[in-house]
A and B are shown apart, each in its own frame.
Chain A
Amino acid sequence: MNNPSSQPNGLNPQGRRAIEIVNAGLARRYRKERRFRLYGISAILASLLFLSFLFGSIISKGYSAFQQTFIQLDIFFDPAILSQESLSTANYPGIVKQSLRQMFPEVKSRQDKRMLYRLVSSGASFQIRQMVLDSPEMIGQTLQVWVIADDDIDMLEKGHFDLEAPEGERRIKDIQLAWVDRLKKESRIEKRFNRILFTAGDSREPELAGILGAVAGSFYTLLVTLLLSFPIGIASAVYLEEFATQNRWTDLIEVNINNLAAVPSIVFGLLGLAVFLNFFGLPRSAPLVGGLVLTLMTLPTIIIASRASLQSVPPSIREAALGIGASKMQMVTHHVLPLALPGILTGTIIGMARALGESAPLLMIGMVAFIVDVPGGFTDPSTVLPVQIFLWADSPERAFVERTSAATIVLLAFLIIMNASAVYLRKKFERRW
């Protein structure tokens, strides 16, 4: 009590006691706050740790898929083989095999020859065919051509191949290893950027498999989803929020919209199967149906986000518009909707990002089929990126492991771009009132 600082002038004894009680509790209060901050920071650190682990594992597994091993062959465009009437049906595998035999003349037995042919991908002959069809004047010449190596050789080059295992259990035999060594010495083996991954559809051969088919499928599916769910979602939200009178019916609708947002996505797949495929007879595996199913799935999300965004527009803006004689429609379209639009767009993009990553409902409507061709429209059979990842993850070949991760990287990149654009839009169009 003799401490002058705790006894300011004019403070009555009661006030002095209160100050002492407050001071006594201060340390405890600050300790509590520090502890709470610590919890927060450690929670964030933990989630960052998991996130970096996820990204680290996917990228470290998948980055090698962006490169592909190529082998240089001396291809003799043999007029004897290519002199047929139709260049497109000539024996191109024969040309590749002939070239390999010439490079390794010591290989004589049938079995060894078959192993030799296995060094290059079956896609090599398609590559030669395309070259000939593009410029037939090269017939008769001998050219050095880089052809795609087989996926086993590719794995060997990338160090994913276990050479310690006994020869009988290996997919690459010792004799093939020797050939590869010789090709390397002649610097006829090289790793290049894997264009096929981005320009081809699916394939049974890992070295020929690409994600373009799945990306195109995802694009068409999401386009259908966006074109349907955005206008329907906004219209529903605007009607419910601005026009509908609050009664038991609107309460019922609201509860059901919230329920639909929580329904497992596979249920929407079953619904799509029963309604769109079996009842309306729409084509199976088509982006059109996938888009319809994902529309059902994203609509509740978009409606809820839009309603929240409309609610956050201050009522004074509505009164101002109505007060000078704007009709309700003008009030909505001129004032309320433009102010709510950033929030609506954010909700839509997040809904679309969810739809992009969705695979379960699409399995139910047959978008899980093995489809080589890149879809060119809304009714072509196709698959989508997450389903492609699922399919590749299921494949036994070692080379599909890195492609699975590579496709995941691409999917994550799309998701990050979409979510970043949602943040950007919100920041850009955010208005203060």
Chain B
Amino acid sequence: MTVDVKTTAGVSGIGQTGRILYDRESRETVGEPFVEGARMTCRGVNVYYGDKHAIKNVALDIGRNEVVAMIGPSGCGKSTFLRCLNRMNDTIDTCRVEGEITLDGMDIYGKEVDVVPLRAQVGMVFQKPNPFPKSIYDNVAYGPRIHGLAQNKVELDEIVETSLRKAGLWEEVKDLMTHPGTGLSGGQQQRLCIARTIAVSPEVILMDEPCSALDPIATSIIEDLIDELKQQFSIAIVTHSMQQASRVSQRTAYFHLGDLIEVGDTAQIFTTPRHQLTQDYITGRFG
């Protein structure tokens, strides 16, 4: 069943024979973690919280205009891995990240890399909707303002409108621009957060269980939105719901206790998983 994974040659610190020999504790990944012309590549990523080894030797690509879903039981490290992709883990003092993660060929953990522009390129939507306690307009305009993306008020208005349109929120809030963003419903708040993220024109959007705090109707709206957004962005989404993963994603990665167990086409993962652990999880034997 196991497919031997060969990493691309020349990646620093990783032998040609495959990374699985590199760390004996980690399990080898089954499936196809790599794609042609990937937007983001991760090679030999290890994350430690103090002494705890939270992510073990993970290699994964995020391709152009695709949605990659990350599933797995609680505490498997999928959120931790997601937060490595825009260096949100930097804010945790005890967290240490090893390995190589690139965005369009640039090592994002390189010494010369500044996290501020990186996070503008790799946006993030969080589990709980977290609009700023400001007006709807200011919520969306904040990113373009601090990055200086708009030359004048007209341009800024335009960015705000297109972002809200892309997030499918424009029709609902176009007359409420000065109202506080925190006054919207949960689903609207989450779409506002998505609009805020895409207002700075990122290349990749990371979503950390974006629907877990929402009702089914709001969830389906967000899912439709994700489907549209993939025309323009690469999306990595962490989700607890396997149905959601199967609905929105093209590829699915299954994490288990810090290991990336299996990666593959979403349809294949949910119909004919190759690894026993994946099968146990999607058939509901644990989780």
Q: Interface residues, chain A, CB within 8 Å of chain B? A: 245-246, 314, 316-327, 330, 334-335, 339, 431-433
Q: In the complex, what residue of chain B is closest to A327 when comparing beta carbons?
A: B116
The answer to the question of B133 belonging to the interface, with a C-beta cut-off of 8 Å to chain A, is: yes
Q: Could you show 20 A-B contacts with beta carbons less than 8 Å apart?
A: A316-B126, A316-B128, A317-B133, A319-B88, A319-B126, A320-B126, A320-B131, A320-B132, A321-B132, A321-B142, A322-B119, A323-B119, A324-B119, A324-B123, A324-B196, A324-B197, A324-B200, A325-B116, A335-B132, A433-B133
- B window 135-175: CB within 8 A of A: 142-143, 146-147
How distant is the Cα of A339 from the Cα of B197 in the complex, in angstroms? Answer: 22
| Beta-carbon contact of B133 and A324 below 8 Å | no
CA distance A334 to B119 in the complex (A): 17
Kindly state the interface size class of chain B when it binds its partner: 20 to 34
CB of B237 to closest CB in A, whole Å: 15
The residue on A at minimum CB distance from B181 is: A433
Q: Determine the distance from Cα of A339 to Cα of B14 in the docked complex, in whole angstroms.
A: 46
Q: Which A residues are in CB contact (< 8 Å) with B86? A: 323
Q: Is the CB of A432 within 8 A of B132?
A: no
Contact residues of B with A, CB < 8 Å? 86, 88, 91, 93, 116-120, 123-126, 128, 130-133, 142-143, 146-147, 182, 193, 196-197, 199-200
B146 touching A330, Cβ below 8 Å:
yes
CA distance A322 to B88 in the complex (A): 8
Q: Are B124 and A323 in contact (CB under 8 A)?
A: yes
Q: Which residue of A lies closest to B118 (CB)?
A: A325
A142 to B196, CA, bound (A): 83
State A318–B132 Cα separation when bound (angstroms): 10
Which secondary structure characterizes the binding site on chain A? helix
Kindly provide the distance from the CB of B199 to the nearest chain A CB, expressed in whole angstroms. Answer: 8
Q: Which chain A residues lie closer than 8 Å to B147 at the CB level?
A: 325
For A323, list chain B residues within 8 Å (CB): 86, 88, 119, 123-126, 197
B118 → chain A, closest Cβ, in Å? 8
**Residue contact A325 to B119, C-beta cutoff 8 Å:** yes
CA distance A327 to B118 in the complex (A): 11
Complex-state Cα separation, A246 to B123, whole angstroms: 27
Please provide the 9 A-B residue pairs with the shortest distance between their CB atoms, ordered closest to farther. Answer: A325-B120, A316-B130, A323-B124, A325-B119, A324-B143, A320-B130, A431-B133, A433-B133, A245-B93
Minimum C-beta distance from A319 to chain B (A): 6
CA distance A320 to B134 in the complex (A): 13
With A319-B130, A339-B133 known to touch, is A324 a contact of B142 (CB < 8 Å)?
Answer: yes
Q: How far is the CB of A245 from chain B (nearest CB, A)?
A: 5
**A325 touching B117, Cβ below 8 Å:** yes
* Contact, CB under 8 Å: A432 / B182: yes
Residues on A with beta carbons closer than 8 Å to the beta carbon of B91: 318-319, 322
A320 to B86, CA, bound (A): 13
Q: How far is the CA of A323 from the CA of B131 in the complex (A)?
A: 12
Instruction: Name the residue in B119, B147, B197, B200 with the highest tally of chain A Cβ atoms < 10 Å from its Cβ.
Output: B119
Q: How far is the CB of B83 from chain A (nearest CB, A)?
A: 9
CB distance from B55 to the nearest CB of A (A): 19
Min CB–CB distance A318 → chain B (angstroms) = 8
Q: Which residue of A lies closest to B139 (CB)?
A: A320
Nearest-CB distance from B150 to chain A (Å)? Answer: 14
Query: In the complex, what residues of B have CB within 8 A of residue A431's CB?
Result: 133
Q: Report whether B126 and A325 are in contact in the complex, using a CB–CB cutoff of 8 Å.
A: no
A324 to B193, CA, bound (A): 10
| Given A319-B130, A324-B197, A433-B133, A246-B93 contact (CB < 8 Å) | yes
Question: In this complex, what residue of B is CB-closest to A338?
Answer: B133
Report A-chain residues with C-beta under 8 Å of the C-beta of B133: 317, 339, 431-433
Residues of chain A lying within 8 A (CB to CB) of residue B142: 321, 324, 326, 334
How far, in angstroms, from A330 to B148 measured CA to CA in the complex?
13
- CB closest chain-A residue, reference B87: A322
Residues of B within 8 A of A245 (CB): 93
Closest Cβ–Cβ distance, residue B134 to chain A (whole Å): 9
Which single residue of chain A is at the shortest CB-CB distance from B145?
A334
- Note all chain B residues with C-beta closer than 8 A to A330: 146
Instruction: Give the chain B neighbours of A339 by CB distance below 8 A.
Output: 133
Please give, as numbers and ranges, the residues of chain A lying within 8 Å of B118 by CB-CB distance. 325
Q: How far is the CA of A376 from the CA of B21 in the complex (A)?
A: 81
Expressed in whole angstroms, the minimum distance between the Cβ of B160 and any Cβ of chain A is 14
Whether B146 contacts A317 by the Cβ 8 Å rule is no
Cα A431 to Cα B182 in complex, Å, equals 10
Contact A325–B146 (Cβ < 8 Å): yes
CA distance A245 to B95 in the complex (A): 12
Instruction: Give every chain A residue within 8 A of B199 (Cβ-Cβ).
Output: 324
Identify 6 new A-B residue pairs, CB closer than 8 A, beyond the known A316-B130, A433-B182. A316-B126, A320-B132, A320-B196, A323-B197, A324-B142, A324-B199
In whole Å, how far is A108's beta carbon from the nearest beta carbon of chain B?
Answer: 84
| Across-interface contacts of A316 in B (CB, < 8 A) | 126, 128, 130
Q: How far is the CB of B265 from chain A (nearest CB, A)?
A: 29
- Closest Cβ of chain B to A189, distance in Å, is 64
The answer for the CA separation of A215 and B3 in the assembled complex, in Å, is 85
Name the residue in B91, B125, B130, B193 with the highest tally of chain A Cβ atoms < 10 Å from its Cβ. B130
A313's nearest neighbour on chain B, judged by CB, is B133
Q: Which residues of A contact B132 (CB under 8 A)?
A: 317, 320-321, 335
Minimum CB–CB distance for B137 against chain A, Å: 15
Specify the chain B residue showing the minimal Cβ separation from A335. Answer: B132
